[in-house]
């Protein structure tokens, strides 16, 4: 067991876990943050995506030890005081979420994308989300959600 210190969604956490435990399992099992989902367990689908020190990572590929000292943002940290973040609001209004299982990772990927490209081109959106698989939407509603979120962001 290793002692791991993390900052998750603004809160400091200190936990004892096996050093190679997947960050995904640390979040879900030790911190009870079940909004982060497992889709494939091999870094292909992005359902487990979280922001680690501002970078988008697949938490199924990160050993706990590697996350030691990191600042993390999971889907639970996106809304403030139960008010939807504009990205969440746009996904909700534009049909960006269907079954919802890819949605947490997709929203964090969008967050990361818009930090990098506040006014993204279609190509940047398509490339930026290519690590997050969605089987329901065919991505068109997601693209619309992202474009709308960029607009909202530009006006606030």
Partner 1 sequence: MQESQPILGASPLRKEGRAKVLGAARYIDDITLPGMWHGATVRSSIARGTIRSITFDPAIDWPQFTIVRATDIPGENTIVHLTKDHPCLADPHINHPNEPILLLAHPDKTALIAAVKGVKIEYDELPGVFTIEDSEAAVENEDAARIIWPGSDAGGTANCFKQYLMYTGDKDEAEAGINAAFEAADFVVEGEYSTGAQEQLYIENNGVIAECFRDALGAIESVCVRGSMQCPYYLVHALTLVFNLPEDKCRVIQVETGGAFGGKEDFPSVIGSHAALLAMKCGHPVKIVYDRAEDMAATTKRHPSRTRHRTAVSKDGRLLAGTIDIAIDGGAYATLSPVVLSRATIHAPGPYKWPHLRVRAKAMATNIPPHGAFRGFGAPQSLFALERHMDKVAQAVGLSAEELRRRNFLATGDCTATGQLLSEPVDMQHLLTRALADSGYHEKLARFEEENKTSSIKRGVGFAAFMHGTGFTGSGERRLNSLVHVDILEDGRPCILVSSTEFGQGTNTILSQVAAQTLRMPYESIVVAQPDTSVVPNSGPTVASRTAMIVGKLVERACEKTLATLRESEGLPEDFTPQQFTAATLAYRAKHGSLRSSVRYEPVAKIYWDDDLYRGDAYPGYAWAVYVAEVAVDMNTYMATCTRFDALQEVGKVMHPVLAKGQIEGGVAQGIGYALYEKCVWQNGHMANNQMTNYIMPTSADLPPIHVHFEETPCIHGPGGAKGIGELPMDGPAPAILNAIENATGMSFTAIPLLPEDIFERVTAMKNAGSEALNPGVDLDTESEVTA
5 is a contact residue toward partner 1 (CB under 8 A) = no
Stretch that binds partner 1, among 32-40, 51-59, 64-72, 148-156 (CB under 8 A): 32-40
Spell out a b/e string for 14-33, using b for 16 or more CB atoms within 10 Å of the CB, else e.
eeebeeebbbbbbbbebbeb
The two tokens of residue 89 are 């609001």
Out of 3, 140, 151, 154, the residue judged to bind partner 1 by CB under 8 A: 140
58 is a contact residue toward partner 1 (CB under 8 A) = no
Q: Which residues pair with 4 in a beta bridge?
A: 15
CB of 97 to partner 1, least distance (A): 5
Q: Which residues pair with 51 in a beta bridge?
A: 56, 73
59 is a contact residue toward partner 1 (CB under 8 A) = no
Out of 22, 111, 141, 148, the residue judged to bind partner 1 by CB under 8 A: 141
Burial of 76 by CB count in 10 Å (0-12 exposed, 13-18 middle, 19+ buried)? middle
Kindly tell me which of 80 and 155 has the beta carbon lying closer to partner 1: 80
Q: Other C-beta atoms within 10 Å of 143: how many?
A: 18
Q: Other C-beta atoms within 10 Å of 119: how many?
A: 11
101 is a contact residue toward partner 1 (CB under 8 A) = yes
Contact 74, 103 (CB under 8 A): no
35 is a contact residue toward partner 1 (CB under 8 A) = yes
Out of 4, 6, 17, 39, the residue judged to bind partner 1 by CB under 8 A: 39
127 is a contact residue toward partner 1 (CB under 8 A) = yes
Task: Enumerate binding residues for partner 1 (CB under 8 A).
Answer: 28, 34-42, 44-45, 47, 74-76, 78-79, 84, 88-89, 91-104, 107, 125-127, 129-143
């Amino acid at each position: 067991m290793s002692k791991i210190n993390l900052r998750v969604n603004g809160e400091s956490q200190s936990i004892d876990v096996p050093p190679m435990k997947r960050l995904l399992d640390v979040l879900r099992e030790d911190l009870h943050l079940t909004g982060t989902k497992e889709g494939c367990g091999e870094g292909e689908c992005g359902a487990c995506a979280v922001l680690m020190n501002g970078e988008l990572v697949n938490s199924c590929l990160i050993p706990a030890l590697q996350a030691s000292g990191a600042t993390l943002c999971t889907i639970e940290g996106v809304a403030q005081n139960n008010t939807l973040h504009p990205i969440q609001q746009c996904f909700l209004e534009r049909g960006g979420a269907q079954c919802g299982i890819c949605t947490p990772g997709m929203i964090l990927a969008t967050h990361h994308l818009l930090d990098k490209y506040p006014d993204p081109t279609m190509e940047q959106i398509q490339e930026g989300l290519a690590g997050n698989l969605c089987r329901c939407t065919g991505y068109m509603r997601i693209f619309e959600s992202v474009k709308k979120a960029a607009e909202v962001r530009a006006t606030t």
